[in-house]
Structure 1
């Protein structure tokens, strides 16, 4: 049984440190192959997808989290959204006039920020912003936790795009437990630094080829590691015909009818999954009459 598209949580019982590992393939391919993305964009979205899974698992809430990059460089915009049920979707926009794209993270993203948005089912929406001024996305996320949460955090992100039709991504995160971070005992930091050093020995070949249990044993065989049941990760889009119809309620009826007269129908495409929703004059009458649910359900 494949251990990809699974999030694994584990705990170092003697070190007050928690860990997470995620490996993606099928869920990721729905994202990176939804458009003819250059390999550099695929790599960026792959790292963001793995990172979003890790962050969703850390932030104990029911709802959604989004990682959004805004940049003045070749990549203008990239976003991955995930839910507490570990469903993913994502999209990117870049300067398609460029014949080639730079390879490095810093060159792809200039004057860029990472916006982390947490939208719980209950409670207030939270948004944090961190400058993307480090050489890698992993280092930028580490800086975010250091600045905003004051939690020592180690992040490793890996991608395998060697098979064009089967992109893979992985992430491994270690973090001092919040209660331990409040303590003044320097030994907690020493333990974390030791575990981070061990984690740094993991190779991409090991990450993408070995069972999770073998990886953790190779890295931490001298530690007391407690593993928890894995959580499945999947691609899922939250778009729907009803949501599209709700958006049309904010447009004047006459304007919608003019579009239908000129083009035959109103066509709305989801930027994440590319599902197309069509609305004709009967649909518009139902929408503006307050009967969205009465509109035909054909896409």
Structure 2
């Protein structure tokens, strides 16, 4: 087992246990995470949760076998009403959080206090193919929030919705975002994707991998590079590592997509803003890009027959 990392780049390292139905990934997405934070300022607990979601989205996306994006959302009923991370097939990410106006975030707030104060929080994963067929809709899974940590919520979702045993260890602060994923590969007709000696051996290897992963502490994950971690955790195991992947920040907002969002609001709403302010101004929640539409621009929006398709809000209209 040898790993060569490119200095200065975010890295996602895939690996698999030889002769066992267990795969894993380690990710350091700190540069992308700092890029996200350079555009918005969040309270410390929000940084921690959103940073963990950013690492998790990349970890899950790396195993998707389609050309499209995964959008991970937590809709909340606490001082935070929305957390969103989007990651495409090339591991290009963007992330944002929306706080309730006037909402107070305690310094020690956990996930429940942030987004599930009254038990109405929801976790949503959307798989949006880039090459959709006519009439095809994105796949979306929605479940109640089940757990006080991002990792627990995703583990429960993967087991219930995808029938995949998954374990996650995530850590983030205002400088670093890292994560470890272990997944028990599914059996098909008595055989696994990575064929073990037998099913009993496969279960034993899975349990041993989880025990080793569970020795990883949050501070250790924050302070230790993934090249060191993979050898420290699994030095007694026979594993194969693959060529590293390199996630990066990328915002997919465009003037066309923002125009589609305005069309979804409806002409009366847009016309009222034009009448009051002369222009409709929109800032992208993810990257801060500023868009403006005057009276002529808005009239053209509502005379085109182009279909309206917006997966998640592009930004807030500035009155």
Which region of structure 1 is more displaced relative to structure 2, 113-122 or 247-256?
Answer: 247-256
Confirm or deny: 8 A CA contact 1:106 1:133 kept in the other structure.
no
Would the aligned equivalents of 1:4 and 1:22 in 2 still touch at CA under 8 Å? no
**Per the alignment, do residues 252 and 236 of structure 1 end up closer, same or farther by CA in structure 2, a change over 3 Å counting?**
same
Question: 1: CA distance between counterparts of 2:169 and 2:230?
Answer: 14
Q: Work out the number of aligned pairs and report it.
A: 287
Q: 1:44, CA displacement in angstroms?
A: 1.0
Deviation at 1:14, TM superposition (A): 2.3
Per the alignment, residue 202 of structure 1 pairs with 216
* 1:129 and 2:138 correspond: no
2:73 pairs with 1:68: yes
SS at match of 1:188: helix
CA distance in structure 1 between the aligned counterparts of 2:259 and 2:137, rounded to whole angstroms: 26
8 A contact 2:170–2:218 mirrored in 1: no
Corresponding position of 1:164: none
Q: 1:109 aligns with which of 109, 115, 121?
A: 115
Does the CA contact (< 8 Å) of 1:32 and 1:45 recur in 2? no
SS of aligned partner of 1:43: helix
CA contact (8 A) 1:18 1:176 kept: yes
Assess, with a 3 A threshold, how the Cα gap between structure 1 residues 213 and 119 changes in structure 2: closer, same or farther.
Answer: same
Partner residue of 2:85 out of 80, 91, 98: 80
Gaps of 5+ in 1: 162-166, 293-299
1:196-229 deviation per Cα after TM superposition (whole angstroms, max 9, x unaligned): 1111222445434444333212111121211111
Name the CA distance, whole Å, in 2 between partners of 1:168 and 1:130: 28
CA contact under 8 A between 1:47 and 1:159: conserved in structure 2? Answer: yes
Does the CA-based 8 Å contact 1:146-1:153 persist in structure 2?
A: yes
Correspondence for 2:207: 193
Structure 2, unmatched stretches of 5+, are 1-5, 192-197, 307-319
Q: Is the 8 A contact 2:124 2:140 kept in 1?
A: yes
The answer as to whether partners of 2:79 and 2:104 remain within 8 angstroms in 1 is no
Mapping 1:1-299, distance limit 5 Å:
1-2=6-7, 5-101=10-106, 102-110=108-116, 111=119, 112-121=121-130, 122=132, 124-161=137-174, 167-179=175-187, 185-204=199-218, 206-249=220-263, 259-288=273-302, 290=304
Give me the whole-angstrom Cα distance separating, in 1, the residues matched to 2:301 and 2:101. Answer: 36
Whole-Å separation in 1 of the counterparts to 2:51 and 2:238: 31
SS in 2 for 1:143: helix
Shift of 1:66: 1.0
Contact 2:14 2:241 in 1 (8 A): yes
Looking at structure 2, the residues matched to 252 and 91 of structure 1 have their Cα atoms a distance apart, in angstroms, of: 25
Distance in structure 2 (CA, Å) of the matches to 1:178 and 1:148:
14
The answer as to whether partners of 1:32 and 1:46 remain within 8 angstroms in 2 is no
Q: Hey, what does 2:3 align to over in structure 1? A: none
> 1:232 is paired with a residue of what secondary structure?
coil
Distance 2:182 2:217 in 1: 16
TM-score (norm 2): 0.80
Mapped partners of 1:214, 1:96: distance in 2: 42
